[in-house]
Amino acid sequence: MVVFDSSILIDVLRGRKEALEIIESYFGEERIAITVLGKYEILRGAESSEAQFASDLLRQFCVLDFNDSAVAEMVKAYKKLVRKGKMVNELDLLVVGIASANNETLVTKDRDFLNFESKRIRVV
């Protein structure tokens, strides 16, 4: 399974063909997922004219929840970033924690995720 960050799905909603192609490249290869936070971000930001499309799009994804394992992974990532003198948005920590807790690869367009220096994070 691969976990998509909301940055890619937001681009799909904006009609960016390359974002849809990224997602489609994983169909059939493995299951696709989004975090519960990503789902929130997509639904929160969808204009009323996009709401149905957003809901239909999200139905294609397994939704990974935030739990105690994700908290533990978040704390590890946070402490590693602090030691390196690098910080990221707290929501990015949540997303990484959820993906890590599920032992999945995170795919994102957000270059801030490069601060994590993880082989399980792909910035496209």
- DSSP string of 9-20, one letter each residue: HHHHHTT-HHHH
- Domains detected in the chain: 2-123 (3.40.50.1010)
Residue 55's contacts (CB-CB under 8 Å, 6 or more residues apart) are: 43
pLDDT at res. 122: 95
Q: Is 58 exposed, middle or buried (0-12, 13-18, 19+ CB in 10 A)?
A: middle
pLDDT at res. 27: 82
> Which residue from 66, 15, 5 is spatially nearest to 38, judged by alpha carbons?
5
Q: Position of tokens 């930001």?
A: 45
pLDDT at res. 47: 87
- Chunked in runs of 10, what are the mean pLDDT values of the chain (124 residues)? 95 93 87 95 90 92 96 95 90 95 96 92 95
pLDDT at res. 117: 87
pTM: 0.90
